[in-house]
Amino acid sequence: MGALLSLPLLAVPSMGTIMGFAASCCGAATCSMVCSACGKCGNSVATRIAYALILLVNSILAWIMLTPWAIEKLQHLTLNYVKINCPTGQCYGWLAVHRINFALGLFHLILGGLLFGVASSKSPRAAIQNGYWGPKVIAWVAFIVLSFLIPDEFFMFWGNYISFTGAMLFLLLGLILLVDLAHTWAEYCLAQIEDTDSRFWRFVLIGSTLGMYIASIAMTVVQYIFFAHGGCTMNQVAITVNLLLWVAISIISVNPTVQEHNPKAGLAQAAMVAVYCTYLTMSAVSMEPDDKQCNPLVRAQGTRTTSVVIGAIVTMLTVAYTTTRAATQSLGLGGGSGAIQLSDDDEHDLVTQQPSSRRQMRAEALRRAVEEGSLPADALLSDDDDESDVGGNNSHDDERSSTQYNYTMFHVIFFLATCWVSTLLVLNHEETVKDGDFATVGRTYAASWVKIVSAWACHAMYIWTLVAPIVLPDRFDTM
């Protein structure tokens, strides 16, 4: 794979080497190894891990494009063709980030279109999702190479409008899923308490609620002490507004009118939203520039390259994990319900299909062999897999009856994730503070305000879930 990448990049040996390394990290052998290693947890899980790995490598590669070394190589590669608003050469990296993420985004959009309507792994097209890793990695790499042949004007438009819009949609989707998770978690605990009357689940519900509130208070106090001294008006406003909002949602959650329309609403959901939004606010103030002496963390860590690299990689890992989780929990956004339903054929087989005489004889022979000690006991388990109607090794195929998630929506969300990565890396790129040769990820006022406003939006969404049954009673089933 590295040799294939190097062909169009022979003029820049170093660039060919780094892209070859990136491809080898997510090559067919690596993806196959991941799928084999995760086989016991089901094909769908292994597939999701492989796609997350590709997103991670793609994000790190895009981040490297912002280094002076990569920018210099890009200048030689493009023969100084880039001329648009590029007095300092920094837009070489800006455009490269969008090119690389556009390539992966296009890759996911094509896969999403090819997999539209696939309901189970029995479909011939399902192999496109769960297999063919070699051709898919080659296609991904080819898109990256071809993206450098597209005129720069396209990516100026793409980065400023399309990518930014996709990033905001991805951020909004993450907030919606968080609010949904808060309700799901609390309702699950309440259901366990009602069904089992278990003290354990009462302790889990009450303990987690108190723990999240304590964490919210602790983070708020830390923010006021270290990030909100005199002159830091932005931080003071952000921290105070977030504090008032999570106090407000806590009061609204236990309001009698809200409880009447939604008895399962309570402090558990409010606590989860509070701790997450407080974390977002703390992340925003701790990642802003230090030009106003409002971020002691920047002064404490100085210009150490290691901290910048670790921070960037952790950010990319978080994006990859969040994307995978969001992409497989898209039931309310168009995801299929196959994960909880059986197809008619499978249901019919489970009820009426009888084993043939040949299978009965084989099963009896295996039982005798196991009783005599000539075969291990797990031979009885493998027999069912060997005689599968579909054929092949389906012992860990958890999607034979129906898919665990909507394939098309999965790839659409991954496309939005590539837009978010691009926006995160290039947001106010001309103002980005650099430590050594590596660009810090997200340390701009724009990135900080995105997180702050996201926290406010999350509070607003949660409040709407509480008051919606009151405002629109006809659309909700009141209990």
364-384 pLDDT per residue, tens = 776 776 666 666 655 555 544
Question: How far apart are alpha carbons 311 and 147 in whole angstroms?
Answer: 28
CA–CA dist 252, 353 (Å, integer): 55
- Contact call for residues 404 and 44 (beta carbons, < 8 A): yes
The Cα–Cα gap between 104 and 107 comes to 5
Cα 322 to Cα 173, 175, 451, 478: the distances in Å are: 10, 11, 15, 33
End-to-end CA distance of the chain: 60
Tokens of 67: 């280094």
* Comparison of pLDDT for 354 and 106, the residue scoring more: 106
Q: What is the pLDDT of residues 51-68, one digit of tens each?
A: 988 988 998 898 888 777
Average pLDDT, the chain: 73
Tell whether the model's pLDDT for residue 330 goes beyond 60. no
Is 23 or 142 the better-scoring residue by pLDDT? 142
Maximum pairwise Cα distance, the chain:
85
Contact criterion met (CB below 8 Å) for 422 and 97: yes
**Counting Cβ atoms within 10 Å, is residue 306 exposed (0-12), middle (13-18) or buried (19+)?**
exposed
- Position of tokens 């985004």? 105
Q: Which of 25-29, 121-125, 192-196, 278-282 has the highest mean pLDDT?
A: 278-282
Structure-token pair, residue 426: 């290039």
Express each pLDDT in 232-250 by its tens digit: 888 899 999 999 999 999 9
Rounded mean pLDDT, 255-276:
88
Closest CA to 119 of 464, 444, 407: 407
pLDDT at 404: 78
> 219 is written with which tokens?
């983070």
Confidence of residue 102 (pLDDT cuts 50, 70, 90): very high
